[in-house]
A = this chain, B = another copy of it.
Amino acid sequence: MSEQSVTAQSEDFSRWYNEIVYRADLAAPSPVRGCVIIKPYGYEIWEGIKAGLDRRFKATGHQNAYFPLFIPESYIRREAQHVEGFSPELAVVTHAGGKELEEPLVVRPTSETVIGEAFSDWIQSYRDLPLLINQWANVVRWELRTRPFLRTAEFLWQEGHTAHATHDEAERETLQMLDIYADFAVNDAAIPVIKGEKSKMERFAGALRTYTIEAMMRDRRALQSGTSHNLGQNFAKAFDIRYLAESNNQEYCWTTSWGLSTRMVGAVVMTHGDDKGLRLPPKLAPYQVVIVPIFKDDTQRGAVMDAVERLRGQLDDAGVRVHIDNRDGQSPGFKFNDWEMRGVPLRMEIGPRDVEKNNAVLARRDIPGRKGKQFVSQDGIVAVTRSLLADIQCSLLEDARAFRDAHIADAASYDELRMVIAEGDWARVFWDGDDEDELAVKDETGATIRCFPFDQPGEPGQCVFSGRNTERVALFAKAY
């Protein structure tokens, strides 16, 4: 798998990404245009993401459900902005069971419409509110240019859909879910995302407000990693989602939706990876520790494997995800490279001399070479391993945060903005432009407004484009 060296990030980041994805065995090409196969190693990372999010959703009162894959075409058309936003990307079933369908069925690009219709049935009175539903599902958007995990015709995601009695409650939910995404990204994926609001142009089709978590990849491009939408009453009006209020009036609900997808796997790769391969945060790593036994003959093998099995048992019992690489016919050196490519946080080496001395060697993936290696006693291996894993989790986050902060610059003028973007960095600028201004910046620099970050300076300044005074700064960057 990792016999040949990888393209360096600095040479061609995009090629580096594709090579890593395939050589670390995260995904494989598929025969269907724009789709990839998520291989077991990539899928296990996704399972970690799912578990981390699902736990947080349930702890805040959300329940999972499942809605149909197919949506009658007429539903998509009911919310005007929504149909405009999604029409070019739809895949359509026209035939089924050997016959042409009377009404074509759209393969869901997202489920606001079909869930809106269901909510209008389920919600009668204020007692039914809030309704807090999440769905884990596949969705299809027929994209022209696709890349594994980042943008594929079919992808996996969760989509939350909630209904509330008031605007403020819906807004609180929208922000709560953004916080959950950020908490997951920072604490589980070790990605220091920036929370903020999208500009009008980048809003979800049909939303009142869209919030986002934005992450900086190692090529300094931005990756939108999760979004949370306050849909106002747009979908409630399109799908007649009403409730009987305590006042005895019929009122429209206020709805939200929020989604995070397999794109997060790409974010993990591009936030932490280096020229040797993946670097996985321990909380999401399918294997947190890989043990490579080292021996020359059967006598050595016996003694080494006894120790290896004993240590594996201890780590296993402690809930550490541990794997023994006992592949025959592969040298330790090959195995070291292979697990570096796959980004396993800790490698444990055990040879005959280690057994004699009751030692093991632990090598950290995040600190290259000798500096990251240490001899440890086999006694108390669980405590040492746990502490190192916690340390690696922090250190990946700190690395990424330092990198990000070094590459966001305040720009006081449009010239400065251009320079910062031309450098490849993110520009933080006072902004009060309209859609056209935003498009003009995009045309000239390739950068878009990633968000108006929640973290604002708190004092007014001058918009770098319109010259108007404003309270708000925006982050501009080139993005995936």
Contact = CB atoms under 8 A, between A and B. Distances in A.
B87 A64 contact: no
A118 B142 CA distance: 22
B40 A64 contact: yes
B154 A35 contact: no
Contact of A118 (B30, B75, B88, B92): B30
B65 A97 contact: no
A183 interface: no
Interface residues of A, number: 54
A32 B68 contact: yes
A95 B31 CA distance: 18
B142 A97 contact: yes
Contact of A105 (B32, B89, B114, B137): B32
A152 to B, nearest CB: 9
Nearest to A327: B127
A150 interface: no
A91 B96 CA distance: 4
B138 A67 contact: no
B144 A37 contact: no
A95 B92 CA distance: 5
Q: How many copies does the complex hold?
A: 2
Given A30-B114, A32-B71, A37-B118, A96 B92 contact: yes
B43 A64 contact: yes
A66 B66 CA distance: 18
A138 B67 CA distance: 11
A28 interface: yes
A117 interface: yes
A179 interface: no
A238 interface: no
Nearest to A35: B68
Interface string A89-125: 1111111111000001101000000100110011000
Interface in A118-151: 118, 121-122, 133, 137-138, 140, 142, 144
Contact of A28 (B31, B44, B87, B118): B118
Nearest to A122: B28
A10 to B, nearest CB: 31
A70 B118 contact: no
B94 A90 contact: no
Interface of A: 28, 30-32, 35-40, 43-44, 46-47, 63-72, 75, 87-98, 104-105, 107, 114, 117-118, 121-122, 133, 137-138, 140, 142, 144, 153-154, 156
Given A35-B68, A66-B156, 19 more contacts: A28-B121, A30-B114, A30-B118, A31-B75, A37-B65, A37-B66, A39-B65, A40-B64, A43-B63, A43-B65, A68-B154, A70-B154, A87-B98, A91-B95, A91-B96, A91-B105, A92-B94, A93-B94, A95-B104
